[in-house]
A and B are shown apart, each in its own frame.
Chain A
Amino acid sequence: MRSAAIGVILGICLGLLSAGPCRAAAGEQILYEGDSIYHHITVRQNGTERCMIFGRQRDLRQTCIDLARPDASVFEYTGMMFAAFLFRPDARKVCLIGLGGGYIPTVFRLHLPQVTLQTVEVDPHVAKLATQYFGFGVPAGQSLSIDDGRQFFKRSPDRYDQIWLDAFNSDYIPAHMTTREFLTLVKSRLSKGGIVIQNVFCGNRLYDAQITTFRQVFAKVFVFEGSRSGSCIIVASDHPAAADTAGLRKQAERLGGKIGRIDLLAEVEKFKPAPAVRKAPVLTDDYNPANLLLMEKK
């Protein structure tokens, strides 16, 4: 019974030991290092690229912007997520779960001003750093709520044309936002023909389980598979406007092939209309080994 207390004390000791500042690589500058209630956060700059890093896994748990070109997608997945507009090009209301450095809201501000964007971020400190170091602001037409994503949808009855889920790390997933019950809640917050788009990593068993779970809730589930990274984007809807590569290509051309610097035609090539997955369990509030599946490579 004491092990909880011992665990906490041990955790604090280990935390103190490992909290020393990390050494910056050559040419890198550390602008900020500190702790929020959720993460150890470092803000670094290398050339014009500025990154917010969570924990220690540099390549997998970070969000970056190019200061010279703030609307250029440094990572493959952030650009891929804009494929949402191939399915709902007419979207007027979008909800984004997970702010990070604020790259996605920046693209919306610069290139999609007609869209009302509601961003939800659980960590107030991340929002503060995004404002301070990443030029994030809440322009007219956008709003920011500091809340848990699931709590936000539970309390707010608003409906959206697109819901973007980007609250996930490579080594930890908020498990309550992977379940059938959560996706059912999200679906109830979609307008007619609305879509859900989620950023995931394709290389682990959680991916199979998530696709399986999405298929329980939505009539159509598609995937965009990253060509330069292990990222995948799940797109789900009950009434998707387009559902094949040719149709999406046409839609991309109608949008001028681009949103800002994001090449929609290149994203179309990553489209998988019927992603094959191995047999996996449906994740529910009752049965949810999400974080254990995340650790199991395929």
Chain B
Amino acid sequence: MTIVYGVFILLLVTFGAVVMSLEILASNLMSPYFGGSVYIWGSIISSFMVHFSVGYVLGGWLSRRFPRISVLATLLVVCALWVIMIPAIYKPVCEAISDAVVDVRLGSLIAMNVIFLVPVSIMAMVSPYIIGITACWGQQSGFTAGMVLFISTVGSFFGTNVTAFYLISLFPVSRIIVGLGLICLVVCFVVLSLRVDRRIAIPAA
């Protein structure tokens, strides 16, 4: 029992933190190519909101079809690998887009979506996926939808502040992003190796 909740909390906190850390770092990736204007923040925040929406819908839908943590964790492995790739891909991507698109608003919006749509959408699946699993799970528990969002948001709080207040002054952005990707990868493998799906009895759907 405890181990299942432990896995839920680990996933929620980790990906809640990483997604907001990436949002803060996105401004460092965008501003050399599209400027430091308020438009950049508009693009970053609105893009993330779109990715969240995609992830919420997909996560909710997938959790009904495959109410298994292993499926979610496998998707998160893809997400982690993408995050690790970001430092290698963002320069050519931003360079090409800023050369081709004159308007920085459109340019930064396109760049944000090319770079972040896949990983952020997958990260956004974590909360609805876990809510979906707990809803299917016959077990009575205090792990409500509100609790899930609370834990994820606490993670986001730390991800935002630790990044903005400390990490940026300690490490290069590329190294922070690779580090975040590696943390995600390790968490995924830990979760997969614990094989918690055995402990979650889902009544035949």
Chain A residues at the B interface, C-beta cutoff of 8 Å = 1-8, 37-38, 122, 147-148, 150-151, 154-155, 174-177, 179, 181-182, 284-289, 292-293
A15 to B168, CA, bound (A): 26
Give the docked Cα–Cα distance between A195 and B156 (Å).
45
B35 pairs with A1, CB closer than 8 A: no
C-beta contact mask, B95-108 vs A, less than 8 Å → 1, else 0?
Answer: 00010001010000
Q: Which residues of B contact A (CB under 8 A)?
A: 16, 19-20, 23, 28, 31-32, 34-38, 45, 48-49, 52, 98, 102, 104, 123-124, 127, 149, 152-153, 156-157, 160, 165, 168-169, 171-174
Tell me whether A289 and B36 are in contact (CB under 8 A): no
Question: Which DSSP category, helix, strand, loop or mixed, fits chain B's interface?
Answer: helix
CB of B36 within 8 A of CB of A4, answer no
- Cβ 8 A contact of B19, one of A1, A148, A293: A1
A288–B27 Cα distance when bound, in Å, is 11
Q: Given A284-B172, A286-B172, A289-B168, is A148 in contact with B157 using a C-beta cutoff of 8 Å?
A: no
For this complex, 23 residue pairs linking A to B, each with C-beta atoms less than 8 Å apart, are: A1-B127, A1-B152, A1-B153, A2-B149, A2-B152, A2-B156, A3-B156, A4-B20, A4-B48, A7-B160, A8-B45, A37-B38, A38-B37, A148-B35, A148-B37, A148-B104, A155-B102, A175-B36, A182-B32, A284-B172, A286-B172, A287-B173, A289-B169
Cβ-defined contact, B49 with A4, below 8 A: yes
Residue of B nearest to A2 (CB): B153
Excluding A154-B98, A175-B31, 20 further A-B contacts by CB distance (< 8 Å) are: A1-B123, A1-B156, A2-B149, A2-B152, A3-B156, A4-B20, A37-B37, A37-B38, A38-B37, A148-B36, A148-B104, A150-B36, A151-B104, A155-B102, A174-B36, A175-B36, A177-B36, A286-B173, A287-B173, A288-B168
Most chain A CB neighbours (cut-off 10 Å) among B19, B36, B171: B36
Write out the residue numbers on chain A whose beta carbons fall within 8 Å of the beta carbon of B52: 1
Contacts of A147 in B (CB 8 A): 35
Closest CB pairs A-B (n = 6): A148-B35, A289-B169, A176-B31, A287-B172, A3-B156, A286-B172
